[in-house]
Amino acid sequence: MSPKPYPRTPAPVATPPKPAGPGRPKDLSKRQAILDAARQMFTAQGFDGASMDQIAAAAGVSKLTVYSHFGDKETLFAEVVKSYCDSQLPDALFDDLSGMPLRERLLRIARAFFAMICATEAVAGHRILCSPQIAGSSLPRLFWESGPRRVQAGFATLLERRIAAGELAIDDVPRAASQFFTLLKGEPHAQLVFGCCDAPDQAAIETHLAASVDLFLRAYGRDAAPLAAQAQ
């Protein structure tokens, strides 16, 4: 007679882990207040001179709230740059307006860009990045990724659409986008950053921007393609 088998103990049913909650949503109004306060402090005090305590006090929040939103001062600086560029040179500026003549389209972008880089906070930011204390840090790279790279990428998309429409002949679109904004900055912006003048003369700026756009079109306009081929 075979022995009776021992009754099996049912295996415990695994309790599925609770899904992680989404966490407390960030207060967007506090985030914007921090960005506004940081922009003012960086402009007035420089990067090293502006403390997270000062920024928190100016924004009307705790320092813990500032760190909760941005992590550290370097990230906050980069977000200030991005926020400023987004507001002054929004993505919509590069939307396809195929009915607008190309030269007028480029001039609109040129005016918006030059106004952005010549504002007080932009000039202050440029001087911060050129200071010896900052030059060897991660800030210049953060600035580049948050500001100029984004602007150039948006403009490159516009150029590609105009190439497809047969209005431009460009082999290296990213390089052409970089050249466009370098032309626009030119000597007037350098004089402003170096403190050679308080504010550029508006009529002179308009002449400078128009000449820069025309130079760009002479290099990359469809009619300029045969000349470019001869030069190679």
For 127-161, how does the pLDDT look when each residue is reduced to its tens digit (9 = 90+)? 887 777 777 777 888 788 878 888 899 999 999 99
- What pLDDT does residue 16 have? 41
Does 21 score more than 50 pLDDT?
A: no
pLDDT, tens digit, 9 for 90 and up, residues 181-207: 999 999 988 888 888 877 778 899 999
Burial class (CB in 10 A: 0-12, 13-18, 19+), 188: buried
In this predicted structure, what is the pLDDT of residue 25? 54
pLDDT band at 6 (very low <50, low <70, confident <90, very high): very low
pTM, 2 dp: 0.73
Average pLDDT along the chain: 82
pLDDT band at 107 (very low <50, low <70, confident <90, very high): very high
Domain ranges of the chain: 27-71, 90-221
Yes or no: domain 90-221 corresponds to CATH 1.10.357.10: yes
What is the distance between the alpha carbons of residues 111 and 131, in angstroms, rounded to a whole number?
28
Domains 27-71 and 90-221 alike in fold? no
Indicate the CATH number of 27-71 among 1.10.10.60, 1.10.275.30, 3.40.30.10, 2.40.50.140: 1.10.10.60
Q: How many Å apart are CA 31 and CA 65, to the nearest integer? A: 9
